[in-house]
């Protein structure tokens, strides 16, 4: 699975960084998301990534399942 | 329509949304409602419906559109006045927000931690040196966020009486629209003058940094106005309501004192439980949209009963319970969609530091009287407490 982010949608709310600062960070200048680790493997991390996707206010995040492109 | 409910309704119990909001959520989740000026709008009360609406480009946040709900009539901002960030739609909104959101990243907020801690400690030093009982609203709840936002923006704290009184008036529904309009205008004029001064003598602050990046002075005055207002009223109300709630719930307080790692979760639950700003997320449809089988036509307004939505049984188990273990971060206390609160992570940080420090430094803190004798901001756009007498 691979995390994708739509930077045009991202509004820099930082909810993903609060959810998992190992996976997500923000650009200093415009606050938009930086994905530090694009392919989470362990179930706990994937759970947190799904939480980040759910609470992202601009719905900028997604998890691409294996075999799909984004 | 004469039989539709008239909103906004005041909260009569601090721990519950108005009963009518709960009834609407159960029986009529997309309801035709009447507003105080006699106009009608739709009220949404289910979490999913509100989240969908706030991320749907067919709804506009532009307060200057004819028919936008709960905007005072006849006292609209001058036609040439620039819309505020909260009233912008794409693509202008994204550009304007990105120009400033770098000031509010998690990294930037964490860097403010030592200074916020100092401010909280200074306030508590004064409380402990003063008489008992003490009113925590003027002693802690208001000055902490006020000092923090003033320092961040570069606004002289010495002027806080001026904008604090106007901020409060601006949000009171009982104050005539013309007076609220004047209060807003006065803060904006104050901010405009301050920005002219910053352009001449820049400081190490948000307003000066925005100017250095080439921000338009008038737009920046609007942004400064919004940040000052939001930074004052909202966090202060959550500090007072949160302190009251924790003092009323010994098990929650014990958990917080025992392990500061649970504080962020307690803060999140307090935010959900009170949802102090409900009508900020009003919108107007710019195209016909169907929500929950109801057709909302272009030009019709929508208001959000966010406090009820944050207890929606479809989204929260036993949502009326204050539950420390809930870990529910999908609430909409900070709104949802592209306009979600710019300062939300500053608010979280301030609340965490205040609660951790307050109960550690004054372990014997208690309310000086019963909760039902406290005075709540029942008719304010932002719910809160007028005063919170405590002793120790």
B12-66 pLDDT, tens digit per residue, is: 899 999 999 999 999 999 999 999 889 999 999 999 999 999 999 999 999 989 9
Is the Cβ pair A58, B55 closer than 8 Å? yes
Residue of chain B whose alpha carbon sits nearest to that of A26: B105
Is the Cβ pair A59, B338 closer than 8 Å? no
User: CA–CA distance from B72 to each of A31, B148, B170, B177, B297 (Å)?
Assistant: 34, 31, 12, 6, 22
- Kindly report the backbone phi and psi dihedral angles of residue B304, in degrees, each rounded to the nearest multiple of 5, phi listed first: -120, 125
Is the Cβ pair B102, A8 closer than 8 Å? no
Is the Cβ pair A14, B335 closer than 8 Å? no
User: CA–CA distance from B57 to each of A58, B70, B371 (Å)?
Assistant: 11, 21, 43
A4 lies within 8 A of chain B by CB = no
Tell me the per-residue pLDDT of B199-255, one tens digit each, with 9 for 90 and over: 999 999 999 999 999 999 999 999 999 999 888 889 999 999 999 999 999 999 999
- pLDDT of A69: 54
> What is the residue-averaged pLDDT of chain B?
93
Checking if the pLDDT of B80 tops 60, the result is: no
Checking if the pLDDT of B153 tops 80, the result is: yes
Checking if the pLDDT of B362 tops 80, the result is: yes
Q: How many CB pairs under 8 A join A and B?
A: 68
Is the Cβ pair A12, B104 closer than 8 Å? yes
B101 lies within 8 A of chain A by CB = yes
Residue from B98, B306, B348 to probe the interface with A (highest A Cβ count within 10 Å): B98
Q: In chain B, what residues touch A55 (CB-CB under 8 Å)?
A: 329-330
- Kindly report the backbone phi and psi dihedral angles of residue B129, in degrees, each rounded to the nearest multiple of 5, phi listed first: -85, -10
Q: Tell whether B23 is covered by a domain.
A: yes
pLDDT tier, B156 (very low <50, low <70, confident <90, very high otherwise): very high
**For residues B278-297, average pLDDT:** 96
Examine the predicted complex and report whether its ipTM is higher than 0.85.
yes
Q: Which two tokens stand for residue B102?
A: 């770098």
**For residues B98-106, average pLDDT:** 97
Model confidence pTM above 0.80? yes
Q: Which two tokens stand for residue B234?
A: 């909202």
**Residue B373 to chain A, least CA–CA distance (Å):** 37
Task: Report the candidate in B322, B313, B171, B305 with the shortest Cα–Cα distance to residue B241.
Answer: B322
Q: In chain B, what residues touch A13 (CB-CB under 8 Å)?
A: 340-341, 344
For domain A2-64, give the fold. Alpha-Beta Plaits (3.30.70)
**Residue B85 to chain A, least CA–CA distance (Å):** 13
Q: Tell whether B308 is covered by a domain.
A: yes
Q: Tell whether B363 is covered by a domain.
A: yes
The Cα B110–Cα B90 span in angstroms is 30
- Kindly report the backbone phi and psi dihedral angles of residue B372, in degrees, each rounded to the nearest multiple of 5, phi listed first: -70, -5
**For residues B286-304, average pLDDT:** 97
Q: Determine which helix (DSSP H) or strand (DSSP E) holds A5, and give its type and residue range.
A: strand A2-5
Give the three-class secondary structure for B248: helix
A27 lies within 8 A of chain B by CB = yes
Q: Give the max Cα distance, chain A.
A: 34
The Cα B367–Cα B388 span in angstroms is 8
- Which of B101, B106, B348 has the CB atom closest to A30's CB atom? B101
- pLDDT of B1: 44
Q: Tell whether B196 is covered by a domain.
A: yes
Q: Which residues of B341-371 are buried (b: 16+ CB within 10 A; e: fewer)?
A: bbbbbbbbbbbbbbbbbbbeebeebebbeee
Q: In chain B, what residues touch A25 (CB-CB under 8 Å)?
A: 107
Q: H-type helices in chain A, by residue range? A: 15-19, 43-55
Residue of chain B whose alpha carbon sits nearest to that of A11: B338
Domain count, chain B: 1
Is the Cβ pair A30, B102 closer than 8 Å? yes
Q: Which CATH number goes with the domain that contains B355? A: 1.10.630.10
Listed as ranges, residues in chain A with pLDDT below 50 are 70
Is the Cβ pair A59, B55 closer than 8 Å? yes
Q: Are A31 and B104 in contact (CB under 8 A)?
A: yes
Q: Tell whether B334 is covered by a domain.
A: yes
Q: Tell whether B65 is covered by a domain.
A: yes
Share of chain B above pLDDT 90, in %: 81
Up-side HSE of residue B179: CA atoms within 13 Å toward CB?
11
A37 lies within 8 A of chain B by CB = no
A29 lies within 8 A of chain B by CB = yes
Interfacial B residues in 172-201 facing A (CB < 8 Å): none
B42 lies within 8 A of chain A by CB = no
Q: Tell whether B6 is covered by a domain.
A: no
Q: Are B97 and B85 in contact (CB under 8 A)?
A: yes
Range of the domain at B74: 19-391
pLDDT tier, B175 (very low <50, low <70, confident <90, very high otherwise): confident
- Which of B94, B340, B345 has the CB atom closest to A57's CB atom? B340
B293 class by beta-carbon count within 10 Å (0-12 exposed, 13-18 middle, 19+ buried): exposed
**Residue A39 to chain B, least CA–CA distance (Å):** 23
pLDDT tier, B71 (very low <50, low <70, confident <90, very high otherwise): confident
**For residues B317-327, average pLDDT:** 94
Checking if the pLDDT of B70 tops 60, the result is: yes
Checking if the pLDDT of B111 tops 50, the result is: yes
Q: In chain B, what residues touch A15 (CB-CB under 8 Å)?
A: 329
- Kindly report the backbone phi and psi dihedral angles of residue B110, in degrees, each rounded to the nearest multiple of 5, phi listed first: -60, -30
A6 lies within 8 A of chain B by CB = no
Q: Tell whether B353 is covered by a domain.
A: yes
B330 lies within 8 A of chain A by CB = yes
Is the Cβ pair B105, A18 closer than 8 Å? no
Q: Are B205 and B320 in contact (CB under 8 A)?
A: no
Q: If you count them, how many residues does chain B have? A: 392
Q: In chain A, what residues touch B340 (CB-CB under 8 Å)?
A: 11, 13, 57-58
């Amino acid at each position: 699975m691979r995390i994708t982010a739509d930077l045009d949608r991202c509004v820099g709310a930082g909810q993903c960084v609060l959810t998992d600062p190992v996976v997500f960070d923000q650009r200093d200048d415009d606050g938009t998301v930086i994905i530090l680790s694009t392919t989470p493997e362990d179930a706990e991390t994937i759970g947190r990534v799904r939480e980040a996707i759910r609470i992202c206010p601009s719905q900028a995040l997604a998890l691409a399942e294996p075999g799909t492109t984004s | 329509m004469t039989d539709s409910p008239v909103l906004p309704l005041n909260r009569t119990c601090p721990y519950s949304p108005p009963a009518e909001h709960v009834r609407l959520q159960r029986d009529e989740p997309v309801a035709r409602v009447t507003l105080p000026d006699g106009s009608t709008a739709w009220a949404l009360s289910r979490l999913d419906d509100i989240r969908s609406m706030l991320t749907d480009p067919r709804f506009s946040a532009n307060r200057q559109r004819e028919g936008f709900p709960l905007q005072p009539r006849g006292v609209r901002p001058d036609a040439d006045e620039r819309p505020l960030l909260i009233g912008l739609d794409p693509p202008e909104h994204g550009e304007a927000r990105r120009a400033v959101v770098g000031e509010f990243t998690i990294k930037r907020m964490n860097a403010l931690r030592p200074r916020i801690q100092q401010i909280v400690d200074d306030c508590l030093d004064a409380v402990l040196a003063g008489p008992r009982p003490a009113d925590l609203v003027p002693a802690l709840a208001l000055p902490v966020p006020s000092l923090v936002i003033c320092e961040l923006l570069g606004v002289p704290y010495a002027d806080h009486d001026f904008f604090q009184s106007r901020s409060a008036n601006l949000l009171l529904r009982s104050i005539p629209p013309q007076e609220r309009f004047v209060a807003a205008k006065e803060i904006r004029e104050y901010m405009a003058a301050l920005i002219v001064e910053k352009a001449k003598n820049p400081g190490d602050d948000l307003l000066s940094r925005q100017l250095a990046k080439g921000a338009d002075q008038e737009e920046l005055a609007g942004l400064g106005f919004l940040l000052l207002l939001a930074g004052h009223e909202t966090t202060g109300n959550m500090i007072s309501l949160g302190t009251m709630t924790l003092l009323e719930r010994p098990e929650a307080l014990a958990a917080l004192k025992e392990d500061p790692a649970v504080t962020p979760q307690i803060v999140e639950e307090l935010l959900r439980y009170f949802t102090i700003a409900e009508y900020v997320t009003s919108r107007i449809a710019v195209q016909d949209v169907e929500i929950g089988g109801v057709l909302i036509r272009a030009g019709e307004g929508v208001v959000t009963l966010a406090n009820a939505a944050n207890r929606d049984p479809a989204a929260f188990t036993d949502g009326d319970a204050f539950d420390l273990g809930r870990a529910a971060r999908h609430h909409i206390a900070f709104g949802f969609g592209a306009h979600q609160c710019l300062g939300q992570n500053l608010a979280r940080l301030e609340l965490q530091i205040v609660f951790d420090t307050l109960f550690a430094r004054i372990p014997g803190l208690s309310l000086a009287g019963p909760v039902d004798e406290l005075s709540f901001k029942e008719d304010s756009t932002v719910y809160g407490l007028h005063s919170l007498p405590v002793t120790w």
